[in-house]
């Protein structure tokens, strides 16, 4: 886990809302999302599938769904992403921000060599061919690929999932980005390889002083890796706190329910409780708190008001009655 020293954010998301057309009108996917990442800081995004985690970080690169409508503000190293032109977004992806996706095989073309992928990315950043090849070999060596010069001639199908994810990380870091967006980069890997990839990401992030957003379903991993954790539910941020504070004293009932349902955060004999109910479908827009139908602590007021983030102890929580003391 790293300690931030530079106060200027490399990523700022403020009041971000995003909707797509539906049969009965706009379908909201994100609502009033806020996120701040500073150089050298790792911020985790957690929540169930469909909560808006991946969509939020894709928006930071201008990768929004076709015909989507956005509102709010998203800036990466000072660039207003939502109003940026195609050329500005291209430069952003070449020099400032990079992404590592969940499935490394979906990030490469199986008919091209690893060297071709890496050299092409470096060449797009203005590096000449000879320097690009030398830099690609150096990057493969740094991420732990044996015989990197030989690996340059191999195709993606010749690599295991873990080794290919290392190659993808090398490509993402090839232009020394100031912001790294890691979208569940270990989900498709076995436990041992997961640990190796996470160690690689965090060590290279600390070395370069990058800001990093780490999307994960693994709460244990988020607790170990992230300086701050942002919890999302139904396209909204429901809690933000330092990693140790969030896991020690959750302020939102959804966060508490996620922790209670996670086997890695309890002793071997501790009882686990499933989060009741089901996540909202995309077209569902209930009044009041979006989590209220699944919340064991909800009352009539929760059906009337959409709670805003407010300070409670060491957390910001979007709850009318935050903290376990209020749920007793």
Q: Tell me if 203 is assigned to some domain.
A: yes
Determine the pLDDT at residue 102: 86
Q: CA-to-CA distance for 115 and 118, rounded, in angstroms?
A: 5
pLDDT per residue of the chain (328 residues) written in tens, 0 to 9? 544 445 789 999 999 999 999 888 889 999 999 999 999 999 999 999 989 999 999 999 999 988 999 999 999 999 999 999 999 999 999 889 999 988 889 889 999 999 999 999 888 878 899 999 999 999 999 888 999 999 999 999 999 988 999 999 999 988 889 999 999 988 777 888 888 888 888 888 888 899 999 999 888 888 888 999 999 999 999 999 998 888 889 999 999 999 888 776 555 666 677 888 888 877 777 789 999 999 988 999 999 999 999 999 889 999 999 987 777 5
Strand order, beta sheet including 42-46 = 97-100, 179-183, 211-215, 42-46, 228-233, 236-242, 315-317, 310-312
Determine the pLDDT at residue 167: 93
Q: CA-to-CA distance for 163 and 143, rounded, in angstroms?
A: 9
For the purposes of burial, counting CB atoms within 10 Å of the CB of 84, is it exposed (0-12), middle (13-18) or buried (19 or more)? middle
Q: Tell me if 166 is assigned to some domain.
A: yes
Q: Tell me if 82 is assigned to some domain.
A: yes
Classify 110 in phi/psi space as left (phi over 0), alpha (psi -120 to 50) or beta: alpha
Where b means 16+ CB within 10 Å and e means fewer, 247-285 reads bebbbbbbbbbbbbebeeeeeeeeeeeebeeebbeeeee
Instruction: Name the pairing type of β-strands 310-312 and 315-317.
Output: antiparallel
Q: Tell me if 6 is assigned to some domain.
A: no
Q: CA-to-CA distance for 306 and 303, rounded, in angstroms?
A: 8
Query: What residues make up the domain containing 243?
Result: 11-111+155-327
Please state the domain count of the chain.
Answer: 1
Q: CA-to-CA distance for 188 and 224, rounded, in angstroms?
A: 19
Q: Tell me if 15 is assigned to some domain.
A: yes
Q: Tell me if 123 is assigned to some domain.
A: no
Q: Tell me if 316 is assigned to some domain.
A: yes
Q: Tell me if 134 is assigned to some domain.
A: no
CATH number of the domain encompassing residue 281 = 3.40.50.300
Q: CA-to-CA distance for 308 and 252, rounded, in angstroms?
A: 12
Q: Are 96 and 178 in contact (CB under 8 A)?
A: yes
Nearest to 169 by CA among 104, 251, 226, 266: 104
Q: CA-to-CA distance for 87 and 92, rounded, in angstroms?
A: 9
């Amino acid at each position: 886990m790293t300690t931030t020293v530079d106060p200027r954010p490399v990523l700022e998301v403020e009041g971000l809302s995003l909707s797509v057309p539906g049969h009965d009108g706009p379908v909201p996917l994100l609502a009033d999302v806020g996120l701040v990442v500073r150089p050298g800081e790792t911020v985790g995004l957690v929540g169930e599938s469909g909560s808006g985690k991946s969509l939020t970080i894709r928006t930071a690169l201008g990768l929004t769904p076709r015909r989507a409508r956005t509102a709010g503000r998203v800036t990466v190293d000072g660039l207003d992403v939502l109003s940026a032109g195609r050329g500005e977004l291209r430069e952003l992806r070449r020099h400032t921000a990079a992404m590592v996706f969940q499935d490394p095989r979906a990030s490469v073309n199986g008919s091209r060599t690893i060297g071709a992928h890496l050299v092409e990315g470096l060449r797009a950043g203005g590096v000449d061919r000879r320097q690009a090849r030398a830099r690609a070999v150096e990057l493969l060596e740094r991420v732990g690929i044996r015989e990197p010069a030989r690996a340059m001639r191999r195709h993606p199908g010749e690599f295991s999932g873990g080794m290919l994810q290392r190659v993808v990380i090398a490509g993402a870091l090839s232009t020394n980005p100031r912001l790294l967006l890691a979208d569940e980069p270990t989900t498709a890997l076995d436990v041992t390889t997961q640990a190796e990839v996470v160690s690689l990401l965090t060590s290279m992030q600390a070395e370069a002083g990058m800001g990093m957003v780490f999307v994960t379903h693994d709460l244990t991993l988020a607790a170990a890796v992230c300086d701050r954790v942002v919890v999302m539910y139904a396209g909204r941020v429901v809690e933000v706190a330092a990693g140790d504070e969030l896991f020690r004293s959750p302020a939102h009932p959804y966060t508490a329910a996620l922790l209670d349902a996670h086997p890695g955060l309890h002793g071997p004999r501790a009882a686990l409780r499933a989060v009741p109910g089901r996540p909202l479908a995309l077209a569902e827009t209930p009044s009041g708190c979006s989590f209220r139908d699944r919340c064991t602590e909800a009352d009539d007021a929760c059906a009337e008001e959409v709670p805003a983030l407010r300070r409670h102890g060491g957390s910001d929580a979007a709850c009318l009655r935050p903290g376990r003391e209020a749920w007793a």
